[in-house]
Amino acid sequence: MPKKSEKTGREKTTDIYRLLSEASEKKRQKERTELLQAVGVEDKFEEGDITIDMKTCKGVECKFCIDVCPTNALYWKTGEVCIIKELCIYCTSCVLNCMVDNCIEVRRKRQNGETEVFCKPQDVSLLLNKINARNRVRIIKDLFPDDEAYLKQYGKHARARLKKKKRKSSRPNSKRP
Ligand code: SF4
Ligand code: SF4
């Protein structure tokens, strides 16, 4: 039956394309792992991408991104910044040091599925602040799992402070005539 064979043929073609694309992705991943191992850097993100807008890049006047890249994924060639995408670990150092907002764009996906986009230094600073705040909360929770633990350590001082505050507020106002 012509209808059936036509359909099967199309499915086979799709399968071949899918297999070829999977094979090339596996090859790319293998090359990436080998390259990163060679430079001694750990790959911490599930996936990611980096792009540079050559229309706004200051190029020869700048090259800060090339200087700060820990894996040498960025290099100077024929008058512009070039990228070896396989070497990029999406660390965002280049974005943090770029003198032009929205010139470099780094996108990355964390192991937990969270995606992040960085286009300017403020984006990186905001993330660092968020991580620091999260770490502070975690450390405090480890030190004082509940109110009892806090009061055991600092209860005496906390009570003394409270007493002092109460005494101050009960004093007659000296500015009054
Ligand atoms: S994100 Fe990090 S590894 Fe990737 S190009 Fe920028 S500085 Fe280099
Ligand atoms: S830091 Fe930014 S402006 Fe400077 S060369 Fe790199 S991409 Fe271009």
pLDDT in tens, 1-49: 444 445 566 666 668 888 888 888 888 888 888 888 888 888 889 899 9
Residues 137, 60: Cα–Cα separation, whole Å: 44
- Local confidence band at 171 (pLDDT 50, 70, 90 cut-offs): confident
Ligand 1 surroundings by CB, under 6 angstroms: 50, 68-71, 73-74, 88-94, 106
Over range 69-83, report the average pLDDT. 94
**Bridge partners, residue 109, by sequence:** 47, 115
pLDDT digits (tens, 9 = 90+) for 92-133: 999 999 999 999 999 999 989 999 999 999 999 999 999 999
Residues 105, 95: Cα–Cα separation, whole Å: 7
Q: Which residue blocks in 40-59 are alpha helix, DSSP H?
A: none
What is the distance of C-alpha 28 from the center of its chain?
22
Residues 10, 14: Cα–Cα separation, whole Å: 6
Amino acid at 149: A
Q: Which residue blocks in the chain are alpha helix, DSSP H?
A: 2-39, 64-68, 93-97, 121-143, 147-170
Q: How much of the chain, in percent, has pLDDT values that exceed 70? A: 89
63 lines ligand 2 (CB under 6 A): yes
72: left (phi over 0), alpha (psi -120 to 50) or beta: left
Ligand 2 pocket test: pick from 72, 98, 102 the residue with the most ligand atoms within 8 Å of its Cβ.
98
Nearest atom in ligand 1 to the alpha carbon of residue 83 is 5
